[in-house]
Chains A and B, each alone.
Chain A
Amino acid sequence: MSSTVTTERPSNVSEALARGRLGVPSVVFFVLSAAAPLTVVAGVVTTGYGVIGVLGIPLAFLAVAAVLALFSAGYVAMARRMANAGAFYAYVSRGLGRPAGVGTAWVALLAYNALQVGLYGTIGAAATPVLDRLFGIAPQWWVVALVAWALVGVLGLLRVDINGMVLAGLLCAEIAIIVVFDLGQLSNPAAGGASFAAFSPDNFFVPGVGAVLVLAILGFVGFEASVVFSEESKDPKRTVPMATYLSVAIIAVIYALSSWSMTVAVGPDRIVEEAGTQSVELIFNLAGAHLGDTVLTIGQALFLTSVLAAMISFHNTTARYAFALGRERVLPAVFGRTSPTTGAPRAASLAQSALGLAVILLYAVNGWDPVLQLFFWLGTSGGFGVLLLIATTAVAIIVYFARSGEQETLWRRLIAPGIAAVALIAIIVLAVQNFANLLGVAPDSPLRWLFPAAYPVAAALGALWGLVLRRSRPDTYARIGLGAESAAAVVVPPATEPVPPTAGARR
């Protein structure tokens, strides 16, 4: 007890807390498994070629990777200074004000829900070959979707974040099978030999480039989750930035390579047509022809698990977003409660499941196409929403560093996020112009405005709600953007102010 000399001896506290800390590989694995590479390569890329009809998808992945790497420089720098680092709206609240933050949160809820629900559209296509092989049955897509929905809902409530080792194993298998598919495609080029046409800028800067760029953004969704581990990582200043850049780079290489090798195997002139007719099956038909039945079966099974893992991951992301907002009391407080035994954000999880069920039933009753109209439309619209979130966050990062005067290099606080912001805004402009291409509808279809317009409406309503909170519930307003930390922030006000008399008067 009397050992008052505190010299350089090892600290039990530091050691004990350091034991569970994550290194770069753990964070990268986490990010990549949420990105679900096989879902993107087999589902998004093939449908993208068919619907948008632009050859430049591989180049778009590389271009978006460069923009996101620039964005990440400022993003990870600001994340270290944030209470609720995993959510874009927290950055916007700090940088551009709390009403803008609530607007961003509404947009985020819409976008992540669209991404999650959209996946129910592709699970039928993913499960059909597997079910056919195993049981010789071919159920309706919505039967499969409902089974998947029940699974996701139950796992969400039990808070079974699938075991990290299982996820890592699945991820490695997915990447391995993608590489095998790519090699098969590259060693069986279409007539005329391997063509690099897909990397040619001439095939990129065409009408529809905005649509392809949104598609590429969609492929990268999940990279933003790395900063959640700021406090969990061995060295926040190094681990999280390294993991973020590495994840973006790995995703970019895999996607660019795979989308290019598809054009090599099918032929750049025929890929759009073939992808249009074969849709999700394209990559598996190629694999079946090049590599034989065993590899094909493994690939189909992994596609199914990949879509399932992506669903669970997006379900949990969405539920946690609502949970953080419930803790702030921006959403009703019930969203901020958890199931005691599992610690799952129960109300938030149930609400997400309810939305999923409603959408599946809507599509099933109306007989709408699950892959194009559910998976691709909601997926790309969600990707567009995430694009808006990233662009707004880039601006918020610049404003935050300019206002707060925090010590940071010029590159991280201004130049990198500045270039990223300009590029992202340019992509948004192109995307809005090309939204009909993105959805594959006629240029005068009302849908081309309906989908992108949902976001500004949500943002405006959110900002309005933020202003209402400022007037009617100032203590809630003060919590905006702090997520789970908001509980502590209200008790410890940053500035000393007289205690309001309400607490005493009520008793």
Chain B
Amino acid sequence: MLIADEFFLIAHNDIRGKAKLHPAATGLGLASGLLGELILYGHITVTNGQVHVIDRRPPGDALAHTVLDQLVGEAQHQAVRTWLSFLAQTSATSVGERLARAGVLRRQETRRLLRTSVSYVPIDPNVAAWPATRLRAVLERVDPPSVPDALLLGLVAAAGLTREVLWSAGPRAHHRLNLIIPALPAPLKELVAHTEAAVGAAVLRGIP
């Protein structure tokens, strides 16, 4: 499963799809996940706070393709923080739709007080619960996690969800998490750091 998809599932309740994370952090975490996917597939890289496109060939996934197109089409914007803010505006919807297309979630419209709100409900709770379960298992193991898992752990920590994922884990898991993030490849480490900074800045601004 793709990074942003797994982040989406971790950030929402696995049975009814209710948000476990406030919207600003969810949007930024998912935006970061989308950029992370492109980094993992070698399409872009991040250095000194700037996003650089290194491979313009279209990625297989439609959403990744769209994001890469945007990055290529607006080359005047390179700052990671600009792209995080921009993608964060739509990431909850776009990733939710991607999971709906994949048959993991079901789009559900609820009408309340003249306002229609869209939520995404897991079709199979076991599938929805799997990413968090896997991350917990990863942290229990001694051998280092794969790079995508390490990135996902980094995003979970940056968005402030560590306690939600590790609620049952012991201090060793927390300790291991603190070692995994600094060991990420440089572009991913930077991406995680900028995500954490952006989430913190959103809290300081006080505007949800």
Measured between beta carbons, the chain A residues less than 8 angstroms from B49 are 488, 492
Q: Chain B interface: which of A171-179, A242-250, A339-347?
A: A339-347
Most chain B Cβ neighbours within 10 Å, of A11, A228, A340, A489: A340
Contact with A along B66-87 (1 / 0, CB 8 A): 0001101111110000110110
Q: Does the CB pair A6–B75 fall under 8 Å?
A: yes
Contact with B along A100-121 (1 / 0, CB 8 A): 0000000000000000000000
Give residues 1-42 of B contacting A (CB, 8 Å). 19-22, 24-25
Nearest chain-B residue to A348 (Cβ)? B203
Complex-state Cα separation, A486 to B158, whole angstroms = 13
Contact with A along B43-85 (1 / 0, CB 8 A): 0000011000000101000000000011011111100001101
Partner of B161, one of A327, A340, A344: A340
Q: Does the CB pair B179–A491 fall under 8 Å?
A: no
Q: Does the CB pair A343–B193 fall under 8 Å?
A: no
A341-B21, A342-B22, A483-B200 known; A232 vs B205 contact (CB < 8 Å): yes
Q: Does the CB pair B89–A16 fall under 8 Å?
A: yes
Measured between beta carbons, the chain B residues less than 8 angstroms from A6 are 73-76
**With an 8 A cutoff between CB atoms, is A320 at the interface?**
yes
* Shortest Cβ gap from B160 to chain A (Å): 5
Q: Chain B contact residues (Cβ within 8 angstroms of A): what range? A: 35 or more
Complex-state Cα separation, A336 to B182, whole angstroms = 19
Partner of A507, one of B72, B183, B207: B183
Give residues 295-341 of A contacting B (CB, 8 Å). 316, 320, 323-324, 327, 336-338, 340-341
Complex-state Cα separation, A463 to B183, whole angstroms = 33
Contact with A along B177-208 (1 / 0, CB 8 A): 00100110000011001101101111111111
A11-B77, A17-B82 known; A488 vs B196 contact (CB < 8 Å): yes
Measured between beta carbons, the chain B residues less than 8 angstroms from A324 are 200, 204
Measured between beta carbons, the chain B residues less than 8 angstroms from A492 are 48-49, 190, 193
Measured between beta carbons, the chain B residues less than 8 angstroms from A231 are 201
Give residues 467-507 of A contacting B (CB, 8 Å). 483-492, 503, 506-507
A6-B73, A17-B82, A486-B197 known; A340 vs B160 contact (CB < 8 Å): yes
Measured between beta carbons, the chain A residues less than 8 angstroms from B160 are 337-338, 340, 343
**With an 8 A cutoff between CB atoms, is A13 at the interface?**
yes
**With an 8 A cutoff between CB atoms, is A382 at the interface?**
no
**With an 8 A cutoff between CB atoms, is B163 at the interface?**
yes
Q: Does the CB pair B76–A343 fall under 8 Å?
A: no
| Contact residues of B: prevailing secondary structure | helix
Measured between beta carbons, the chain B residues less than 8 angstroms from A507 are 179, 183
* Shortest Cβ gap from B202 to chain A (Å): 7
* Shortest Cβ gap from B187 to chain A (Å): 10
* Shortest Cβ gap from B89 to chain A (Å): 6
**With an 8 A cutoff between CB atoms, is A80 at the interface?**
no
Measured between beta carbons, the chain A residues less than 8 angstroms from B182 are 503
Partner of A3, one of B73, B76, B205: B73
Measured between beta carbons, the chain A residues less than 8 angstroms from B193 are 487-488, 490-492
Measured between beta carbons, the chain B residues less than 8 angstroms from A503 are 182-183
Q: Does the CB pair B190–A228 fall under 8 Å?
A: no
* Shortest Cβ gap from A151 to chain B (Å): 18
**With an 8 A cutoff between CB atoms, is A1 at the interface?**
yes
Partner of A320, one of B19, B70, B77, B203: B203
**With an 8 A cutoff between CB atoms, is A14 at the interface?**
yes
Nearest chain-B residue to A488 (Cβ)? B197
Complex-state Cα separation, A327 to B200, whole angstroms = 8
Partner of A161, one of B56, B164, B207: B207
Contact with B along A221-235 (1 / 0, CB 8 A): 000000011011000
Q: Does the CB pair B73–A228 fall under 8 Å?
A: no
**With an 8 A cutoff between CB atoms, is A58 at the interface?**
no
* Shortest Cβ gap from B72 to chain A (Å): 7
Measured between beta carbons, the chain A residues less than 8 angstroms from B83 are 13
Nearest chain-B residue to A232 (Cβ)? B205
Q: Does the CB pair B196–A17 fall under 8 Å?
A: no
Q: Does the CB pair B206–A161 fall under 8 Å?
A: yes
Measured between beta carbons, the chain B residues less than 8 angstroms from A11 are 74, 76-77
* Shortest Cβ gap from B180 to chain A (Å): 10
Complex-state Cα separation, A72 to B174, whole angstroms = 45
Nearest chain-B residue to A229 (Cβ)? B205
**With an 8 A cutoff between CB atoms, is A159 at the interface?**
yes
* Shortest Cβ gap from A222 to chain B (Å): 14
**With an 8 A cutoff between CB atoms, is A462 at the interface?**
no
Complex-state Cα separation, A483 to B202, whole angstroms = 12
Complex-state Cα separation, A161 to B208, whole angstroms = 9
**Interface CB pairs A-B, < 8 A, 19:** A4-B72, A6-B73, A6-B76, A11-B76, A12-B74, A13-B70, A13-B77, A13-B86, A14-B77, A16-B86, A17-B82, A338-B22, A340-B21, A343-B208, A344-B203, A485-B200, A487-B158, A487-B193, A492-B190
Question: With contacts A343-B22, A484-B203 known, what are 9 further pairs, Cβ within 8 A?
Answer: A6-B75, A12-B70, A13-B74, A159-B206, A161-B208, A231-B201, A323-B204, A340-B164, A483-B201
The 5 closest A-B pairs by CB, nearest first: A484-B200, A343-B22, A487-B196, A491-B193, A488-B197
